[in-house]
Amino acid sequence: RAFVSFLSSSKTRIMLNPAAGDIGAFVGQLRASIAGSPERADLHMALGLALQSEDIQHHTGGTLQPEALAAYETAYRLGVDPSQHTSLLVNTGILLTTMSRPKEALRYYQDALDFKASTSAQRLQAHFHRAQAFSAMGELADAEREYLAVLDLDPLYSRAYESLAALAKDDPKSRVSWGRLASKADSALVAA
């Protein structure tokens, strides 16, 4: 299964499968490719994704995060293929949230939501990660609103229910109507 996969503007498929190889070696190959073609936004985006993956997989304590962020910013500046624009914004937001910069991340998630070519699945991810950023900031009512937006897009998205349950446990002012949500999920199951 591909861990990272996307189609670049040059129609070259770049895939990263940690089970099939070493992410560190892939990062080295990407750096070499960027040295030869520094104008390719897709390579910078792939480097950001690979560094972010390497950081998570090998628990490097965030040491690769600044380079991943720089790679994402370069990809954004160079202009990624429109089909990858929303993914770049969401991944940058995820990285910023991981770097304890959730307020900055919110701008990227909002840009992803505002981008006209975003798919429903991409909007779902933007809302979900936006909710996590709000939660990290202690803005629980805003986080709840974003998780509910996720469920409006996909009433069966279990991670949103799990996150709402965690919020309700932590926030006595939570106004989540579990009966209404259960009814929405039941309707979605019947429709499927």
Q: Residue 71: what residue type?
A: A
Please tell me the predicted confidence (pLDDT) of residue 179. Answer: 64
CA distances from 160 to 116, 146, 181, 183 (A): 24, 9, 11, 15
Query: What single DSSP character describes residue 17?
Result: -
CB 151 within 8 A of CB 177: no
- The maximal CA–CA distance of the chain, rounded, in angstroms, is 57
Which whole number is the average pLDDT over 146-162? 93
Between CA 45 and CA 5 the distance in angstroms is 11
Q: How many residues does the chain have?
A: 192
Lowest mean pLDDT among 100-114, 138-152, 174-188: 174-188
Between CA 48 and CA 65 the distance in angstroms is 8
Please tell me the predicted confidence (pLDDT) of residue 53. Answer: 87
Residue pLDDT, tens place only, 48-81: 999 998 887 777 778 899 999 999 999 999 999 9
Which whole number is the average pLDDT over 73-98? 95
In terms of Cα–Cα distance, which of 146, 179, 178 is closest to 160?
A: 146
Between CA 73 and CA 78 the distance in angstroms is 9
Cα radius of gyration (the chain): 18
Please tell me the predicted confidence (pLDDT) of residue 58. Answer: 74
Please tell me the predicted confidence (pLDDT) of residue 12. Answer: 43
Please tell me the predicted confidence (pLDDT) of residue 74. Answer: 97
85 CB contacts (<8 Å, ≥6 apart)? 115, 117
Give residue 2's pLDDT band: very low, low, confident or very high (50, 70, 90). Answer: very low
CB 104 within 8 A of CB 96: yes
Interhelix angle for 82-98 vs 65-78, to 10°?
150
Please tell me the predicted confidence (pLDDT) of residue 8. Answer: 35
Q: Is 8 helix (H, G, I), strand (E, B) or coil?
A: coil
Query: What single DSSP character describes residue 192?
Result: -
Please tell me the predicted confidence (pLDDT) of residue 5. Answer: 39
Would the pTM of this model clear 0.75, i.e. be above it?
Answer: yes
Give residue 166's pLDDT band: very low, low, confident or very high (50, 70, 90). Answer: confident
